[in-house]
Structure 1
Amino acid sequence: MAEEYRAKVFKSGNSVALRLPKALGFAEGTEMRIVREEQAGFRIEPLQTQKRKIDLTGIAGSLPDLQPSAAEARVFDDKPRVWDDPDWTGWKAIL
């Protein structure tokens, strides 16, 4: 025998939405396909989407002089900020 769940349709902006019970096990953000069938009503099923990959094969050889930067070159010095100065008068405006 099939499991049965109840769900409620509610207004969401200018649309209506169907909140699915957590017990169904769908992750938040799962894309769903809704098919209207003449005799059975509706069929709701998750879409099997493949993760998108970026193909860099076309540009990999176009920059032959480009080399990855060393780890030491990726460390940046902290620039002093105005609000780090305890004598900064702007604190009075914030507080």
Structure 2
Amino acid sequence: MAWIVLILSGVLEAVWATALGASDGFKRKLPTLIFIVSMAVSMAGLAYAMTDLATGTSYAVWVGIGAVLTAVLAVVRKQERLSLSRAALLAALIGCVVGLKAVS
């Protein structure tokens, strides 16, 4: 159960990071609200996962999922370009996250 919560919390990290960028310095209400709620739930999920999983592994997986999904969302929203090197590095990051799960 802790792994499922951790993965969902990582997804929410991408949501709050994207909402933070869209909030325009907290000037836009809806993205700011999405940021606040998703960040609180994401942090609570991380804290819950850390009760069963190692802190370093939990944090690395949470950040890795959030970073990859945030980058993918930026590409999908056409805010960033996806180069071959960027895609390879994101794939490597995904491999590292999966590797941490495998050795845990």
TM interval, short-chain normalised = under 0.3
Higher strand share: 1
TM value normalised by structure 2: 0.14
Q: Highest Rg: 1 or 2? A: 1
TM-score (norm 1): 0.15
> Which one scores higher on RCO, CA 8 angstroms, separation ≥ 6?
2
